[in-house]
Amino acid sequence: MVVLVTGGTRGIGKACTRAFCERGERTYFFYRSASSETVREIERETGAIGMRVDVADREAVRQGIDRIIEREGRLDVLVNNAGVAKIGLFTDMTEAEYRALRGTNLDGTVFCAQRAAEQMVKQHSGRIVNIGSMWGKTGASCEVAYSATKAGVRGLTMALAKELGPSGVTVNCVEPGVIDTDMNRALDAATRAELCDETPLCRLGKPEEVAAAVLFFASEAAGFVTGQILGVDGGFAV
């Protein structure tokens, strides 16, 4: 199986890259700004192959996926994980900040899914797994634009599942809650404690727990599952 994980050098993306490699899958990951040292370390640890691609750049995405297909002859799984966040008042948000969020979180998901779908339809098989967020379901104060982009990922998942289903391609979405990643480690201790208190399971999630959900959607066991949204949030969004 040939797998592509976007945003594969940190947090959830890195956990997904590692999980697929541990299963013996031929795995590639896109990254935008990670250092060469970080990329080489992941490649050595996992056997995955890193490619510098900005998912917000449609032509770069097409070229990157084309290279994978030329090398492997197919693409079986796309994990649309690349994402960025920005905390701040909606009224203070600049156009540049909004476009950066939309470019990576929503446009990038669309661009990668579009090129992957072209190949998967030809194969009459494939799995697209989008990484959303519980904020795309519930909305988050001071993360309005981020929430909106993740709500867009939700809508994309359901609509694309209907369009690609007749071609044997499934499209599903995993919506993480508060996960112990670099992004959330930047929060102050009081905020982290508050988020844990609001989570029924009373802790932060692990990237590996999100990766496990991704593996399920990519597996044969999920062959009759499409258009679904799976929350991995410790019950936060209930």
Long-range contacts of 189-195 (CB under 8 A, 24+ apart): none
Pick the CATH number of 2-176+208-231 from 3.40.50.720, 3.30.420.40, 3.40.50.300, 3.30.460.10: 3.40.50.720
Per-residue pLDDT, 4: 99
Q: How far is CA 152 from CA 74, 80, 88, 99, 173, in A?
A: 28, 13, 20, 14, 11
Take residue 113 and report the two structure tokens written for it.
Answer: 């899914």
Per-residue pLDDT, 221: 98
The single residue of 28, 31, 98, 146 carrying the catalytic annotation is: 146
Per-residue pLDDT, 55: 99
What are the pLDDT digits (tens) for 196-222? 999 999 999 999 999 999 999 999 999
Domain ranges of the chain: 2-176+208-231
Per-residue pLDDT, 75: 99
What are the pLDDT digits (tens) for 18-59? 999 999 999 999 999 999 999 999 999 999 999 999 999 999
Which residues contact residue 138 at a Cβ distance below 8 angstroms, ignoring those fewer than 6 apart? 147, 237
Per-residue pLDDT, 184: 80
Per-residue pLDDT, 183: 76
Low-confidence ranges of the chain (pLDDT < 50): none
Looking at the DSSP bridge assignments, the partners of residue 109 are none
| Residue 146 annotated to the active site | yes
Per-residue pLDDT, 182: 81
